C-alpha cells in the first residue's frame, strides 16, 4: 500500500527451496504488493507440508501484512491485511 507516492519497489519473485526442488510463486500471488521489507519476513511450519510465510511491508506511512499459505509445495492462498 502506498500513500500519495509512486511505489519504489514491487515484489519481483518469491522462491522457496525444499528437498525435492524449488517453488517459484505464481505472479498472481505477488502482484500489487509494494515496498517489500526482507527484515520483516517470518516463516512458520504448520501441520504436514504446510508453510505460512508472512511479511509486514510499508512505505513509512501506509502499511500492510501479507500471509501466504503453501501446502505440499504449491501456493494455496494469499491474505492481505491493510489499514491496521
Cβ neighbors of 45 (< 8 A, separation 6 or more) are: 51, 52
> DSSP code of 28?
G
pTM for the complete prediction?
A: 0.86
The DSSP-derived string for 4-48 is SS--S-B----EEEETTEEEEPPGGGTTT-BS--GGGEEEEE-ST
Q: Residue 45 is placed in which grid cell?
A: 511450519
H helix count then E strand count, the chain:
0, 6
Question: pLDDT 10s digit of each residue in the chain, 84 long?
Answer: 555 666 788 999 999 998 889 999 999 999 989 899 989 999 999 998 899 999 999 876 678 999 999 999 999 999 999 875
Amino acid at each position: 500500500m502506498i500513500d500519495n507516492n509512486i511505489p519504489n519497489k514491487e515484489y519481483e519473485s518469491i522462491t522457496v527451496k525444499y528437498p525435492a526442488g524449488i517453488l517459484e510463486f505464481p505472479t498472481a500471488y505477488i502482484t500489487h504488493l509494494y515496498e517489500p521489507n526482507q527484515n520483516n519476513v517470518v516463516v512458520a511450519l504448520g501441520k504436514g507440508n504446510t508453510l505460512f510465510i508472512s511479511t509486514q511491508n510499508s512505505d513509512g506511512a501506509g502499511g500492510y501484512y501479507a500471509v501466504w499459505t503453501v501446502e505440499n509445495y504449491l501456493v494455496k492462498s494469499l491474505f492481505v491485511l491493510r489499514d491496521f
